Structure 1
Amino acid sequence: MSRDQLPSTVLHAFGVEGPARRLDGGQGDSWAADDLVFKPDGGPLQEWLAGALAEVTPDGFRIAEPVCTRDGAWVSHGWSATRWVEGSEPDYSAVSTWRDILAAGRAFHRAVAHLGRPDFLEARQDWWARADRAVWGEQEIQFRPEFAAVARRLRGALEPLGRPQLVHGDLTKNVLFAPGLAPAVIDISPYWRPPQYAEGVVVADALCWHGAPATLWKTVDVPVAAVARALLFRMATTNERVAAGADGVDLRDEARRYGLAAAAIGL
């Protein structure tokens, strides 16, 4: 299935005439037409999300509502659709932004705490899924030499983080804001982990990639153990990407960023 264009057959299946435009951000494979957003590789994830989100009552956040085809299916020709949600990315240089993202994530996790574990999680074999299992001791990983020393420092801080449930494991750039509206939580990346792990990923991203102050984890009340495991997860994902032959990865720069973030949390 090509992601370079949105087939007219998909538009027709969802009752949309077009034209379609490619959206910036993410992996660059999402399209918008009329008031719908289309993503490829729907499969079990989108089918499960569509049913699960129907049981969720948003309180303190908004979600992109899944849309079915004219025939009542959630996926057509490998594509799924959701309603367009109003909002834009916030100012990541402001500490208040990180408070707001975490607040939206916490509201979302409270709302989905009753959902059961999706069966399809066990079958996932993408970079992120393998990295996640590795940092929770469910899969072996051999870190590259550039990452080995930082990985040892981070592993020494790992502790239990609470009861697992469905969490959004990639909140950082997937919370949109609009005046007068609750934050919109989009592009749900499901994992079965404690909510503090998802919060740790937000802080890890802020420290590594958005120039957040070293004290951010204290300011937003996310424990060192959560940030340490999240940093391991991001580093393990890069490790998996390189192992799979991905190009354009600056290992030295990433190792430097992870090392600085580890030092920021006292490791």
Structure 2
Amino acid sequence: MLSEELGYSFNLSGKIVPLFGGQNTSVRVNNEAVLKPVDDVQHYEWLLTIIDMINPHGYRLSKPIRSTKGTFVSEGWVCTKFERGQDVNGLIKEKLHVSRLFHHDLSNINFKDFPQGDNPWVEGHRIAWQKGELPMEVNIEIRKIINKLLLKVNLKEQYNSQIVHADLAGNILFDDVLPPLIIDFSPTVAPVEYAEAILVCDCIAWQGSRVSNIDLLINNKYNKEMIVRAVVFRLAVEAIFSGKDFNRFIEQYYLFKPIIDFIE
């Protein structure tokens, strides 16, 4: 629960308004700032330090606000400046353009000490990259579906990996006047093509974009592999949340299945 003292720790006071989207845990204070609870202090201190350093061109970043103690995390909350923008379904070309600008700015970030954290999304990336396995409690039929998808890819010796935003489809906000705004940075270490594949697959499965938009992705030797890994990532996360509930999982599977059918 957001306390008055917490607001003061970020030099904020005023009306608190709940924000809907993502995990539905963020709040806005006046039109100044957005606060959200976090559970990994080390991860967010590292991440927000990176965001604070970037000087964006052609897009906007939701910049962090330090607490009165000089930290980015205070009492389990982080704070960013409130910026105008609306979530818009589709617009894949525009979102890919913003993605490429942002990932260019991230390309020189040293990720050697990146604190990965531990949550279903981190585990989903590990599964997608064949560095982890589904929990044993996951339904056996779900396991078969995901393992069958992973048979379509093989790990290569070398990838051009960097810090990427792995959840851009719904986290680029648009404004009639201002450049697009990137929010809720969900970082992982992977090729940029993987992040772009997640963006496009999410727009197709969740936002009603045509499956033919797959063709907007850069067509190189990693193209099919990155699409498969993007789908596995989303389905692995759903599998972790679904556990033994096959019906819940299969609803998500059918949203992503046209993508796999399209590239085969």
Distance 1:168 1:241, change over 3 A: same
Identify unmatched segments of 5+ residues in structure 1. none
Per-residue deviation at 1:157?
Answer: 4.2
Distance 1:248 1:140, change over 3 A: closer
Aligned residue in 1 for 2:124 = 131
Aligned residue in 2 for 1:170 = 167
Confirm or deny: 8 A CA contact 1:23 1:30 kept in the other structure. yes
Secondary structure at the counterpart of residue 87 of structure 2? coil
**Structure 1: 4+ residue segments shifted above 6 A:** none
Per-residue deviation at 1:260?
Answer: 2.1
Confirm or deny: 8 A CA contact 1:31 1:37 kept in the other structure. yes
Counting only pairs closer than 5 Å after superposition, residues 225-244 of structure 1 correspond to structure 2 as 225-243=225-243
Identify unmatched segments of 5+ residues in structure 2. none
Q: 1:81 aligns with which of 76, 79, 82?
A: 79
Residue type of the alignment partner of 2:4: S
Aligned residue in 1 for 2:193 = 196
Aligned residue in 1 for 2:23 = 27
Distance 1:115 1:33, change over 3 A: same
Aligned residue in 2 for 1:218 = 215
Indicate the percent of aligned positions where both proteins have the same amino acid: 25
Counting only pairs closer than 5 Å after superposition, residues 36-115 of structure 1 correspond to structure 2 as 36-41=33-38, 43-92=41-90, 97-115=91-109
Q: 1:259 aligns with which of 244, 257, 260?
A: 257
Per-residue deviation at 1:79?
Answer: 0.7
Task: State the number of aligned residues.
Answer: 255
Deviation per residue, 1:127-172 (Å, 9 max, x gap) = 0111111111211237741462464145314565831100001101
Q: Distance in 1 between the 2:95 and 2:167 partners? A: 11
Q: Distance in 2 between the 1:248 and 1:173 partners? A: 26
Aligned residue in 1 for 2:152 = 156
Q: State TM-score, norm by structure 2.
A: 0.88
Q: State TM-score, norm by structure 1.
A: 0.87
